[in-house]
A and B are shown apart, each in its own frame.
Chain A
Amino acid sequence: MSTPLLEVRHLTKRFPIRGGLLGREIGHIEAVGDVSFKIHKGECLGLVGESGCGKSTLGRSLLRLIEPTSGEVLFYGENILKMDRTKLRHLRKKVQIIFQDPYASLNPRMTVGDILGEPIDIHGLANSRAEKKKRVAELLDHVQLSKDSIFKYPHEFSGGQRQRICIARALAVGPEFIVCDEPVSALDVSVQAQVINLLMDLQKELDLTYLFIAHDLKVVEFISHRISVMYLGHIVESAKAHQLYRTPRHPYTKALTSAIPVPNPFHKSQRIILKGDVPSPISPPAGCHFHPRCWKASEQCSKAFPEETNGGSDHFFRCFHPNE
């Protein structure tokens, strides 16, 4: 197989907890623990998990918006974590990110024209003012916003339109890979569908690769080719999108998929209701992090963390007692 567009090897991020008189490190939170995966060109990898499972930290670590503690992130075989400033700046032309909250991620004092023009200026992608203007118009066209938006400010737009501006800004530098960090969570259902369609169209049109982070499993299933499920900093299962939902092997994935309310009153689902909350990442349970909430847990689960098992046809999971 060809070199993957992005390969992550044993990525770990620990946040220190400081305390005491001198602010010494008294412990750490392992937000991302030993995560490895590959994304091939044109693919969309979905990353799901509950709040606090480390999915956003992982997404940001890939762009070095958060410096990972250890591990490797290879972009076309080159380690991003070893890059110097100049190289990293060039990388930013290839790798972009879209954030969750379109209200907070746009500068309220800049017009849309300026917002979209800024990355073009920074990377010197336009030789003349006319060329820049043309490029901005092209971007607005990509995200289906009208041309007169250039002179408007973010507050004049609705949530869905603002997210379109964020998408246009990410596209301004002509990236190959975009990290979408909960891009539709803040939007209403009918608008959500519009933005998802837009992202899928753009992926085909511009040959983009996505890492799609979300907690809404239905959305992730719709847009992704492969899905990884995270729990307390670790990827516990990953498989092809339809496979993961039809035959979840890890009990957590099974509980997660069964917990989603089904919009059909005639359907009575066999719901697995997990006991308790997600444990604190400061002191995660020993062994498999999921064992205190798991109905299949045995003695073994509280002692060792299960290794990654290959269940065949690209289906990986970390569990001692997988579902058949």
Chain B
Amino acid sequence: MSEQGLEKVLEVKDLVTRFHGEGGVATAVNSVSFDVWKGKTLGIVGESGSGKSVTALSIMRLIPSPPGKIEEGQILLRGQNILDLKESEMRGIRGNKISMIFQEPMTSLNPVFTVGNQIEEVLHLHQKDLLSKADRTDKAIEMLHLVGIPSPEKRVSEYPHQLSGGMRQRVMIAMALACGPDILIADEPTTALDVTIQAQILELMNKLQDDLGMSIILITHDLGVVAETCHEVAVMYCGQIVEFADVHTLFSSPSHPYTKGLLESIPSFDSTVDKKEGRLPTIEGMVPSLFDLPPGCSFQNRCFNVSQKCRGSESPPSEKLEKNHIIRCFHPVENQGERTHP
């Protein structure tokens, strides 16, 4: 995963996060490794329960403990392992160097404070020495202006309930970016929004990335969103990254049967002409429980390419297919030439 001329902002190495529950131990993140480059967007895709949100929370060190625990691995922020930091030091990083926005803008804003107040709080925590109270208010207005909220001077003193869903998500972005973080983690930022509003937010995030040069980790289940915003993509299944590639490679020659299945199961406008007779290709079965994973490859029971080897005791190792294309599969799908998926 080397890319010349780019700065590595974050490096996650063999991260393992486990949850110890009554029903046993669930390995929600299972030796996950990836790099985040300056000014680039890394997409993490997967279905519910694939470990994408837990990966994000692990980076923020926000895993509820107990029952969860980061048990192995390293998270290097500009070379410094943040897993070694004290909680007080970590607080200096959250919202300052690494920020996060969540899926549900309704519940992640505090209903009893004005939006200006909530943006100022971030500045108060991290830049108290640099900015006076009046400066902070100005900065809050400036941030609201940056995320495209009309008449920010007025909006700054409004409460979250006075804003629409899309506006609230803009406020969340303004809060997250107030301190100029190196990395923005966006956990399903547009899932709760309508398509026309989703288009607005994605455009805003792309624009802000160009202007501010931050890196984004975008967590989503929507491959359309990935195709439009990400530079590199990690596909997660049952806690593991089963395929990692740059966005063009992933969509033109998906090599893991799961990735291929996911791409095919999306209905598209220009798919088949006589589609009323046709059916959508599907991935049979469902995601297995993390408490009860089969030995070997966790995708074995849904895979069309399964062999005896996949059901063995060894889970497939990370293998490099080519430069910057990594896959965990014993039987990668052969891609003849360029695929012409929609």
Whether chain B is bound by chain A comes out as: yes
CB within 8 Å of B: which residues of A? 50-51, 158, 160-161, 188-194, 196-197, 200, 215, 217-219, 221-222, 225, 245, 255-257, 259-267, 271, 273-274, 277-278
Q: A259-B196, A262-B224 are in contact. Are A188 and B166 (CB under 8 A)?
A: no
With A221-B267, A225-B276, A274-B200 in contact, is A267–B194 under 8 Å at CB?
no
The answer on a CB contact under 8 Å between B251 and A188 is: no
**Interface: B86 (CB within 8 A):** no
Other 14 A-B pairs with CB < 8 A, given A192-B265, A197-B282:
A50-B196, A158-B286, A189-B265, A190-B261, A193-B280, A193-B282, A256-B196, A259-B199, A261-B198, A262-B228, A263-B226, A263-B263, A264-B227, A271-B203
State whether A222 touches B282 (Cβ < 8 A): no
A219 to B199, CA, bound (A): 18
The answer for the CA separation of A274 and B283 in the assembled complex, in Å, is 35
Q: Are B282 and A273 in contact (CB under 8 A)?
A: no
* Chain A CB within 8 A of B76 CB: no
Contact across chains for B267 and A222 when beta carbons are under 8 A apart: yes
Interface residues in B193-247 (C-beta closer than 8 Å to A): 194-200, 202-203, 221-228, 247
Contacts A197-B282, A215-B194, A263-B226 given; does A188 touch B221 at CB 8 Å: yes
* Cβ–Cβ < 8 Å partners of A189 in chain B: 47, 221, 223, 262, 265-266
- Bound CA–CA A263/B228 (angstroms): 7
With the chains together, A50 CA to B196 CA distance in Å? 8
Task: Choose one: B202, B248, B283; the contact of A261 (CB below 8 Å).
Answer: B202
Q: Is the CB of A193 within 8 A of B265?
A: yes
Q: Most chain-A CB neighbours within 10 Å: which of B202, B265, B284?
A: B265
B275 within 8 A of A: yes
For residue A294, give the distance in angstroms from its CB to the closest CB of chain B.
Answer: 12
B215 to nearest A CB, angstroms? 18
Give the contacting residue for B194; candidates A50, A222, A265, A266; CB below 8 A: A50
Closest to B266 in A: A263
CB distance from A265 to the nearest CB of B (A): 4
State whether the Cβ of B132 lies closer than 8 Å to any Cβ in chain A.
no
CB neighbours of B269 from chain A (8 A)? 218, 221, 245, 257
Q: Is B281 an interface residue (CB 8 A)?
A: yes
Chain A hits for B271, CB < 8 A: 222
Question: Which B residues are in CB contact (< 8 Å) with A160?
Answer: 286
A257 to B276, CA, bound (A): 20
Residues of B with C-beta under 8 A to A193? 265, 267, 280-283
Determine whether the beta carbon of B195 is less than 8 Å from that of A215. yes
B4 CB-CB contact with A under 8 Å: no
Shortest CB distance B11–A (Å): 24
11 contacts between A and B (CB under 8 A): A188-B48, A189-B221, A193-B267, A215-B195, A218-B267, A218-B268, A219-B267, A261-B202, A271-B203, A273-B200, A277-B167
Q: How far is the CA of A160 from the CA of B275 in the complex (A)?
A: 23
In the assembled complex, the Cα of A221 lies from the Cα of B265 at a distance in Å of 14
The distance in angstroms between the C-alpha atoms of A80 and B197, with both chains bound, is 37
A265 touches B282 (CB 8 A): no
Q: How many angstroms between the C-alpha atoms of A51 and B281 in the bound complex?
A: 29
| Contact between A262 and B342, CB atoms less than 8 A apart | yes
A44 to chain B minimum Cβ distance, whole angstroms, is 9
Point out the residue from A217, A264, A277 that lies within 8 Å of B195, measured CB to CB.
Answer: A217
Q: Which residue of B lies closest to A192 (CB)?
A: B265
Of the listed residues A218, A256, A263, the one surrounded by the most CB atoms of chain B closer than 10 A to its CB is A263
Q: Which residues of A sit under 8 angstroms from B47, Cβ to Cβ? A: 188-191
Are B196 and A51 in contact, CB atoms less than 8 angstroms apart? Answer: no
Does B154 interact with chain A (Cβ within 8 Å)? no
- State how many angstroms separate the Cβ of A223 from the closest Cβ of chain B: 8
Give chain A nearest CB distance to B46 CB in angstroms: 9
Among B164, B276, B279, B286, which residue has its beta carbon within 8 angstroms of that of A277?
A: B164
Separation of A256 and B197 alpha carbons in the complex (Å): 10
Cβ of A260 and Cβ of B251 under 8 Å apart? no
Shortest C-beta distance, A318 to chain B (Å), equals 18
Confirm or deny: B108 has a beta carbon within 8 angstroms of a beta carbon on chain A.
Answer: no
Q: Render B259-295 as a binary contact track against A, CB cut-off 8 A, 1 for contact.
A: 0011101111101000110011111101100000000
Given contacts A193-B280, A264-B341, contact A222 B275 (CB under 8 A): yes
A229 to B166 CA separation, bound complex (whole angstroms): 21
Instruction: Assess A267 versus B197: contact at CB under 8 Å? Given A190-B261, A193-B265, A197-B280.
Output: no
Provide the residues of chain A in CB contact with B203, threshold 8 Å: 271, 273
CB of B247 within 8 A of CB of A265, answer yes
Which residues of A lie under 8 Å from residue B248 when comparing CB positions?
265-266
Whose C-beta in chain A lies nearest to the C-beta of B230? A265
CA distance A262 to B275 in the complex (A): 19
Known: A200-B279, A218-B269, A263-B227. A277 touches B197 (CB 8 A): yes
Bound: A160/B283 CA distance, A:
12
B194 and A190 contact, CB distance less than 8 A? no
* Assembly CA distance A191 to B221 (angstroms): 12
Most buried by B among A190, A260, A267: A190
B252 within 8 A of A: yes
**B224 contacts across to A, CB distance below 8 A:** 260-263
**C-alpha gap A43/B281 in the complex (Å):** 22
Is A255 within 8 A of B196, CB to CB?
A: yes
B284 cross-chain contacts in A, Cβ below 8 A: 194
